[in-house]
Structure 1
């Protein structure tokens, strides 16, 4: 066979496409196989050959042509979709999922797709959804005889992540990362001996808070401008719907708040709050107006935990940390790692207020805390 001229190649492609349009896959396949022969001297039309073989019902030949196509072009959308179809017809649903998932992921980066290709991608998404449902049902059936409650929340979360019902959330502090700390979203408040003492002081703290709120001037927007820093992209920047009344700010006790909320200040002394010059203690009343959503974000450090002691909580208020969503309950401490993605909602009809403060992570020993304090103060000094 001699190399084909460009004119003859174009002619054969047109003839092959016309043959498929009139439902004559045999003729189309013969023409495309000639073009796919290395002796033809042209780039093999693997996609057209695969389509002709599919029309002819030759699954093996179709997959062979598709394999050649994606070997040369690993991100070819139609090739990936056809490969997924080949694997589905062969009963290999895990492979189908892999190829369809990659095609869907790549398609998300394309601004405009041809209508026919967009329809094929919709079909792939539907197949992925169906396969996901089958997978979930399989896992649920396999675990039917397992005492999942006895296995504990870690096992349940792992199973949900495996099934695609939840995702992996890890510490991603935006300022300082300390390696080797456990990835725990919410801590059990019973783990902390000082919590009961603070919870017992809630009536007194709430009385101080209500007096503060009655005067109406203690709260400012939680996110405020910082001198010589870019404006925060948070949608609640400068918005009083998320407010703060600082008790300790930048490591200093706010004198006015010490006078107005002495029982709250005294109660905070029970917690292992870091003492870091110009940084900590940090404690405040955090107010969230009804209808307000604090969007997903990460905290600055993973060397601390954030504590919420709910003082005023209407129905419809909740906090998500990673995969775990919890409602605040008045008088019951929530302790969580804010370096894991978290968000909050007040979907009630009145204001929610919690006492918010930070504590050292319990996994850090005294020597680590001392070293970290020196490190953070050196950052302040720089």
Structure 2
């Protein structure tokens, strides 16, 4: 009997795969005659009835299949579809919840729950559920074909809801925001963006040393750095040295990203060993590049005004960073939040920007910007011209002198052990 059943099941599945539905259904009927409670036969016959929109017989068969195989997600989700077509909202919801009780992260059931909420007038709850489903889903490039339309709809609903909520918050919070100091207003713009789902929380993620309990501040106030004005005053002279280097020493601008063969390059694939993002190094990994420093004496003297971050093997770093036209530096994180990264913009066409966490900044020639590069950041040259900034390291001003000594000590001890 079992061999006969197995052969019939294979035949039915092959016929269905070939689109020969009537023949497949006849074989499934024979399977059921031999084994009245066979779950595949009950399920398949229920699907055939559903295709003909014979909803009552389909649901009866699918319920019988569920009774035999109560944890089969395919049977359960097909029953959800049948109840949805029948308009039995309570039965549909019961089956959806039973699937999620088995697996709270089962994507088709999360989408079904959101769709149920949307159809029955619970717009806010539906948008939140769609957002949760999108968190569980793989990246859009890997969306399963059978779920792609639902996921696209989920994204559209989420975006529309976020836009509407953002507009509502902007109106309702205008008076309270106007009362804030400019230095803290940005954090509340970001808080609203997180509430609406337009942004996510950004935290410090260090590739080497993470100093715990330091706040993740994207951009620091210029007033926190006593040396800033003196360095900015040298902008024209530093820019002149840069232009001279671009004119006569272009071969010294090497690729900033230079992973070796076999190294995982991840987001750096397009820029690896590419001069689209190049650097004229002045200090690198704590070591001065003497030949380049001699070519740029004004820049070297200006950098001497800055208290150097001396973390052995890591800092200081300083360079002219050149970003070619129409080039994007993808999101990434830096080495340690003990140091910050400073930019002195020298050549900045329109269409160039830097994003750190939630905040987006547009460089202005001669105006220092200091940020925590362990917060996810990216940059873009959207123009048809070269963009160049002077990049250098500074200490995080929230660290005391004794803590700076600890930074040096812990990194040295790790290197010694390694």
**TM-score grouping bracket, smaller chain normalisation:** 0.7 to 0.9
Partner of residue 203, structure 2: 170
Is 2:187 the partner of 1:154? yes
Partner of residue 301, structure 2: 266
Partner of residue 322, structure 1: 357
1:291 to 301, 308, 326: 326
Partners of 1:203 and 1:101 in 2: CA distance: 49
2:92 to 62, 66, 70: 62
**Residues 273, 281 of structure 1: 8 Å contact kept:** yes
**Residues 162, 198 of structure 2: 8 Å contact kept:** no
SS of the equivalent of 1:8 reads coil
Deviation at 1:78, TM superposition (A): 4.1
Higher mean alpha-carbon deviation, 224-233 vs 312-321, is at 224-233
Deviation at 1:198, TM superposition (A): 0.9
Q: Flag structure 2 segments of 5+ consecutive residues without an equivalent.
A: 1-31
**Residues 222, 242 of structure 1: 8 Å contact kept:** yes
The change in CA–CA distance for 1:163 and 1:6 in structure 2 (over 3 A counts) is: farther
Partner of residue 244, structure 1: 279
The change in CA–CA distance for 1:276 and 1:12 in structure 2 (over 3 A counts) is: closer
Deviation at 1:258, TM superposition (A): 3.9
TM-score by length of 1: 0.83
Deviation at 1:166, TM superposition (A): 2.3
Partners of 1:142 and 1:366 in 2: CA distance: 44
Higher mean alpha-carbon deviation, 349-358 vs 361-370, is at 349-358
Partners of 1:46 and 1:321 in 2: CA distance: 45
Higher mean alpha-carbon deviation, 145-154 vs 268-277, is at 145-154
**Residues 225, 231 of structure 1: 8 Å contact kept:** no
SS of the equivalent of 1:146 reads helix
The change in CA–CA distance for 1:319 and 1:99 in structure 2 (over 3 A counts) is: closer
SS of the equivalent of 2:203 reads coil
Is 2:374 the partner of 1:351? no
**Residues 221, 241 of structure 1: 8 Å contact kept:** no
Q: Flag structure 1 segments of 5+ consecutive residues without an equivalent.
A: none
Partners of 1:48 and 1:252 in 2: CA distance: 65
More helix by share: 2
2:345 to 310, 315, 339: 310
Matches within 5 A, 1:1-382: 7-9=35-37, 13=43, 16-17=46-47, 19-30=49-60, 32-33=62-63, 41=68, 43=70, 46-106=76-136, 108=138, 113=144, 115=146, 117-148=147-178, 150=180, 152-217=185-250, 219-223=252-256, 225=258, 230=263, 234=268, 235-381=270-416, 382=418
Partners of 1:277 and 1:12 in 2: CA distance: 70
Partners of 1:365 and 1:140 in 2: CA distance: 39
The change in CA–CA distance for 1:257 and 1:62 in structure 2 (over 3 A counts) is: closer
Deviation at 1:355, TM superposition (A): 1.7
Deviation at 1:102, TM superposition (A): 4.5
Partners of 1:229 and 1:118 in 2: CA distance: 34
Partners of 1:369 and 1:251 in 2: CA distance: 15
Deviation at 1:330, TM superposition (A): 1.2
Deviation at 1:274, TM superposition (A): 1.5
Aligned residues: 375
Deviation at 1:366, TM superposition (A): 0.5
The change in CA–CA distance for 1:135 and 1:5 in structure 2 (over 3 A counts) is: farther
The change in CA–CA distance for 1:25 and 1:148 in structure 2 (over 3 A counts) is: farther
Deviation at 1:220, TM superposition (A): 2.8
The change in CA–CA distance for 1:73 and 1:153 in structure 2 (over 3 A counts) is: closer
Partners of 2:35 and 2:272 in 1: CA distance: 64
**Residues 347, 365 of structure 2: 8 Å contact kept:** yes
Higher mean alpha-carbon deviation, 289-298 vs 247-256, is at 247-256
Partner of residue 14, structure 2: none
SS of the equivalent of 1:150 reads coil
**Residues 224, 397 of structure 2: 8 Å contact kept:** no
Partners of 1:112 and 1:208 in 2: CA distance: 51
